[in-house]
Amino acid sequence: MEFMLDTLNLDEIKKWSEILPLAGVTSNPTIAKREGSINFFERIKDVRELIGSTPSIHVQVISQDFEGILRDAHEIRRQAGDDIFIKVPVTPAGLRAIKVLKKEGYHITATAIYTVIQGLLAIEAGADYLAPYYNRMENLNIDSNSVIRQLALAIDRQNSPSKILAASFKNVAQVNNALAAGAHAVTAGADVFESAFAMPSIQKAVDDFSDDWFVIQNSRSI
């Protein structure tokens, strides 16, 4: 299981990288836009400095045509380093680009996956991660769990190194369901992880232990 942060906010990344067993940070232009007027690749360098060398960083291409996707990928790697994961949408042009980029030694996260066939093709093209959009699929009345289950079965059946990186979450229940369906990794915003610990019963249990210890030991620490 891998847990990634879907944000470029440095305060959020600093906080949650110290709490989570953080496997990576994902980004896209929409996420970058929330940060205002930033130098994108300087921000990526700042993220790398915060999370260290082990967690992965995923950056989205912008172009929609084959040649443009290749140019974007080359520029992203030039600016962000060889260990960067290039996010490429699973379109005809994107799939063609994934095949070429994998031959060139790129790390690839196949994105904008809404259907099983997209995921299957991305697996065969050699994508390292497949990113099905969980909440967006639900909004389109697509069974997100079924898509993830079928892709997980295909990966297992073929002994493929590809991993399912489920994305687009609005709540913890969706994260839980994606992992239960077979996702190997999830990426979510800081708000989703925050909500995972917001249940009052969690804090009450912690407070009760502290209070009971104080009663018997007259101390708030061991």
> How does pLDDT run across 209-218, given as a tens digit for each residue?
778 777 777 8
87 is annotated as an active-site residue: yes
As a whole number of angstroms, the distance between CA 145 and CA 181 comes to: 6
Judge whether 122 and 113 are in contact, CB under 8 Å: yes
As a whole number of angstroms, the distance between CA 221 and CA 107 comes to: 47
User: Which pLDDT value is given to residue 221?
Assistant: 81
> How does pLDDT run across 200-210, given as a tens digit for each residue?
677 777 887 77
Give the closest residue to 84 by CA, choosing from 53, 57, 61: 57
User: Which pLDDT value is given to residue 69?
Assistant: 98
User: Which pLDDT value is given to residue 203?
Assistant: 77
User: Which pLDDT value is given to residue 222?
Assistant: 83
Which sequence spans correspond to the domains of the chain? Answer: 2-197
| Per annotation, catalytic residue among 14, 15, 87, 99 | 87
- 19 class by beta-carbon count within 10 Å (0-12 exposed, 13-18 middle, 19+ buried): exposed
Low-confidence ranges of the chain (pLDDT < 50): none
Domain 2-197 carries which CATH code?
Answer: 3.20.20.70
